[in-house]
Amino acid sequence: MTATAHSIVGASIAAATIQNPILGLTLATISHPLLDLVPHWDLGWGWREKSKVRLFLESAGDVLVGLTLAFVIFGNSSIPVWYFLACIFLSISWDVLEAPYWFFNWRFFPFGFIYNVQSRMQGKATLPWGLITQVVTVGLAVYLANTWVFQTTS
C-alpha cells in the first residue's frame, strides 16, 4: 500500500483510540503488514529500475500527501499531536525501515529482514485494480477503526 493509505489508517486509529494509546500504537504498528496482504498497487514497486532521486521524490511526495490527508480528515484539537503523529509513523514504519535497503544497499538486520518480509507478504495488483482494492481496504479499515475499535475502548 502507499504511505498515503497507511497514514490515513494510522490517523483513524489515533482518532478512534484516544482513550487507550497503548492499543492505538499497537494497532497502528500491526495495521501495516495486515493491509499489505491485500492485493494492491504501490509506488515503490519497480524501485530497482528507478533512479534514487525519482524513488525519493515519489516516496516523499506520498508521505506528504498521506500526512496532509490524515490531518485534513482526522486531525482535530482533541487528539494530542504526539499521539496522532506516532500512530501515523508506526503505520508507515515498516516502509521507513525498508528504505535503507533501497537507498543505501544496507542488507543487514533489521533492514534486510524487513525487506525480505515485506517482499514476501505483499499482495500485488496492477493499476487500476490495485488502486481500487487499496481504496476499498482503507475505507474498510477506517470504518472498523471508528466503529468496532472505538466501541471497545469507550
Cell numbers linked to 127: 493499476
Average of pLDDT values for 76-89? Answer: 94
Asked if 39 contacts 123 with a C-beta cutoff of 8 angstroms, the reply is: yes
pLDDT digits (tens, 9 = 90+) for 86-103: 999 999 999 999 999 999
The pLDDT of residue 149: 56
Share the mean pLDDT of the chain. 92
Q: Using pLDDT thresholds of 50, 70 and 90, give the confidence band for residue 148.
A: low
- For residue 57, how many other CB atoms are within 10 A of its CB? 12
- The confidence score (pLDDT) of residue 154 equals 52
Taking the C-alpha atoms of residue 116 and residue 37, their distance in angstroms, rounded to an integer, is: 14
| Amino acid 35: pLDDT | 96
Residue 59: what pLDDT? 95
Task: Yes or no: say if 87 and 13 are a contact pair by the CB < 8 Å rule.
Answer: yes
Domain ranges of the chain: 3-153
Render pLDDT for 15-48 as a digit per residue (tens, 0 to 9). Answer: 999 889 999 999 999 999 999 999 999 988 888 8
How far is 153 from 108, CA to CA, in rounded Å? 39
> Cα–Cα distances in Å, from 14 out to 32, 50, 65, 149, 154?
14, 34, 18, 11, 14
